[in-house]
């Protein structure tokens, strides 16, 4: 059994300090001489909690260990209650490698193996690990999987072919990557504005002020100063100008740091994504684990001709730092370039431009279908009559209804669909549109349904379910009934694509 890297303790202590820094400033700097009972006893409670967490970090390093035997990882942990998690190599689907500033200082990195398993121990995390050991573990997983794949293939070969297979195995395991995409300067500038990341500084400042205000003894005096500023129009103008400049600079810097060094590459079996300037990350996913693809466009992205390509896989769609979904190829790809990128990386997926449109009766059905959200919102406005709103309840209700109608009309014009061979593809959505594409073998369930209104006009809704975490469900409404039945017949031929064991 092996222990985790010793600097794992320092890494956890660093994050403990970083997460506690704001509380430390409030308790020991801003209110260091305060006699308030909340401050006085809060310091003691905070110190006790920190000591307990430091003790837990140190002891955990001694008891947490890992090992691998016969293509299975064994993770041992628990201070008082011992636990052992077993994760087979075959269940590992995504590999994420991240290098933060902390890791760069010591020449280290972090590594995560994500699986399709559900639960608290569904992934293997190495918070701190040497780059050499990370490469060894990644190669170990890939080589073992490739050997299993090779063995499956050689079972169908004759003896002479088996000898040749063994001799060329090492050559096949060494695959060359092809670089498909790296952002240009103009792509980064578009991303800076379409991501709206420059607006992130506003809730941060407002939230920080609201959080700090109760702890300030002279907060009433501070409110008076703020009111004085609000009474002066030229001061408000200067403050707003500076706030806009700072916000835009903050958004541009955030985008360039996050996406400035971004590469999408692939080989015959995997897709690789590397990104980050300060905090570097690496992500890989097996092509045969991909269940489908999504292309998403918001209103702003549609104006700039951009789109986000997402991978649907049976592994958990985790997020790094709660910011970027690791199953996203790139959030700001030019639309045509997104089509070409998909066909380059996954040649078995073909993007079609000419798709079937919804019948005209579908627009009528979308417009007369009741909106429960609008009804509930209207009832809430009538009942509560919020005084802080500058419009009357009926005006707000009409505005909301107008937005809903526009969204449904756009949904009618955006909705397209097509069946081609073993592939299904459709666009849908109103203000935000989305394309979904998958293969028949990846659809684990398909059904069509009809409401009374749909039966009257001979249209129906089709729902597909793909294996993912969580389960990925797609529904397209108001397509002609004959086409829905043809989709059902198409799905019944799934046995031609899937080998039942």
Q: What is the pLDDT of residues 345-397, one digit of tens each?
A: 999 999 988 899 999 999 999 999 999 999 999 999 888 877 767 778 888 89
Instruction: Give the per-residue pLDDT at 317.
Output: 52
Per-domain boundaries in the chain: 2-93+105-154, 185-259, 352-501
**E-state strands within 100-183:** 108-115, 123-130, 178-181
Please determine, for residue 313, whether its predicted confidence score (pLDDT) is greater than 70.
yes
Q: What is the pLDDT of residues 58-67, one digit of tens each?
A: 999 999 999 9
Please determine, for residue 321, whether its predicted confidence score (pLDDT) is greater than 50.
no
Q: How many whole angstroms separate alpha carbon 459 and alpha carbon 456?
A: 8
Which residues is 3 bridged to in the sheet? 65
pLDDT, greater one: 33 or 158: 33
Q: How many whole angstroms separate alpha carbon 424 and alpha carbon 439?
A: 6
Q: Which two tokens stand for residue 5?
A: 């890297």
Buried (b) or exposed (e) across 96-122, using 16+ Cβ within 10 A? Answer: bbbbbebbeeeebbbbbbbbbbeeeeb
Q: How many whole angstroms separate alpha carbon 21 and alpha carbon 297?
A: 38
Comparing 68-82, 192-206, 363-377, which segment has the lowest mean pLDDT?
A: 192-206
CB 381 within 8 A of CB 397: yes
Instruction: Give the per-residue pLDDT at 437.
Output: 94
Q: Return all residues near 356 (Cβ < 8 A) that are at least 6 apart.
A: 416, 417, 418, 479, 483
Listed ranges 59-63, 205-209, 298-302; the one with the highest mean pLDDT:
59-63
Q: How many whole angstroms separate alpha carbon 329 and alpha carbon 307?
A: 10
Cis omega (within 30 of 0) for bond into 149:
no
Whether the CA torsion 251, 333, 278, 280 is positive or negative: it is: positive
Mean pLDDT of 125-135: 93
The CATH architecture annotation of domain 352-501 reads Roll (2.30)
Q: Which two tokens stand for residue 479?
A: 């397509």
Q: How many whole angstroms separate alpha carbon 171 and alpha carbon 161?
A: 16
Instruction: Give the per-residue pLDDT at 233.
Output: 67
Classify residue 422 by its DSSP letter: T
Instruction: Give the per-residue pLDDT at 159.
Output: 43
Instruction: Give the per-residue pLDDT at 411.
Output: 93
Mean pLDDT of 167-190: 71
Which residues is 137 bridged to in the sheet? none
Q: What is the pLDDT of residues 474-489, one digit of tens each?
A: 999 999 999 999 999 9
CB 128 within 8 A of CB 55: no
CB 190 within 8 A of CB 332: yes
Mean pLDDT of 238-255: 78
CB 252 within 8 A of CB 193: no
Please determine, for residue 418, whether its predicted confidence score (pLDDT) is greater than 80.
yes
């Amino acid at each position: 059994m092996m222990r985790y890297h010793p600097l794992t303790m320092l890494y956890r202590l660093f994050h403990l300090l970083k997460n506690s820094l704001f509380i430390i400033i409030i308790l020991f700097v801003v209110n260091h001489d305060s006699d308030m009972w909340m401050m006085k006893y809060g310091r003691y409670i905070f110190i006790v909690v920190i000591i307990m967490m430091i003790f837990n970090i140190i002891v955990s390093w001694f008891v947490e260990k890992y090992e691998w035997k016969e293509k299975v990882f064994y993770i041992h942990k628990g201070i008082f209650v011992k636990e052992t998690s077993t994760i087979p190599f075959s269940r590992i689907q995504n590999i994420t490698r991240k290098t933060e500033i902390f890791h760069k200082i010591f020449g280290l990195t972090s590594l995560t193996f994500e699986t399709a398993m559900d639960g608290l121990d569904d992934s293997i995390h190495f918070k701190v690990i040497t780059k050499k050991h990370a490469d060894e573990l990644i190669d170990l997983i890939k080589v073992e999987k490739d050997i299993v794949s090779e063995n499956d293939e050689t079972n169908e070969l004759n003896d002479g072919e088996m000898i040749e297979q063994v001799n060329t195995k090492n050559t096949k395991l060494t695959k060359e990557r092809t670089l498909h995409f790296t952002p240009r300067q103009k792509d980064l500038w578009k991303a800076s504005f379409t991501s709206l990341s420059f607006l992130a500084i506003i809730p941060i400042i407002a939230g920080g002020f609201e959080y700090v205000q109760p702890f300030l003894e002279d907060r009433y005096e501070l409110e008076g100063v703020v009111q004085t500023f609000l009474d002066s129009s030229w001061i408000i103008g200067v403050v707003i100008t500076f706030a806009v400049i700072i916000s835009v600079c903050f958004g541009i810097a955030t985008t360039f740091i996050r996406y400035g060094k971004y590469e999408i590459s692939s080989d015959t079996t995997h897709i690789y994504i590397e990104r980050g300037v300060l905090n570097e990350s690496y992500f890989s996913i097996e092509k045969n684990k991909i269940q489908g693809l999504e292309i998403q466009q918001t209103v702003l992205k549609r104006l700039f001709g951009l789109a986000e390509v997402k991978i649907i896989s049976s592994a958990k769609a985790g997020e790094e730092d709660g910011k970027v979904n690791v199953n996203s190829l790139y959030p700001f790809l030019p639309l045509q370039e997104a089509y070409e990128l998909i066909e380059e990386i996954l040649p078995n997926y073909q993007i079609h431009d000419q798709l079937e449109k919804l019948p005209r009766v579908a627009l009528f059905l979308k417009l007369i279908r009741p909106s429960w959200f609008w009804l509930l919102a209207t009832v809430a406005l009538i009942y509560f009559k919020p005084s802080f709103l500058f419009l009357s309840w009926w005006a707000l209700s009409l505005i909301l209804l107008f937005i809903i109608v526009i969204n449904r009309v756009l949904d009618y014009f955006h909705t397209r669909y097509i069946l081609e061979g073993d592939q299904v593809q459709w666009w849908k959505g109103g203000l935000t549109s989305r394309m979904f594409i998958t293969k028949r073998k990846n659809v684990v369930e398909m059904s069509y349904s009809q409401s009374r209104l749909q039966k009257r006009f001979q249209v129906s809704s089709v729902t597909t379910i793909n294996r993912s975490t969580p389960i990925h469900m797609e529904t397209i409404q108001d397509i002609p009934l004959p086409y829905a039945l043809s989709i059902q017949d198409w799905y019944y031929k799934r046995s031609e694509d899937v080998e039942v064991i």
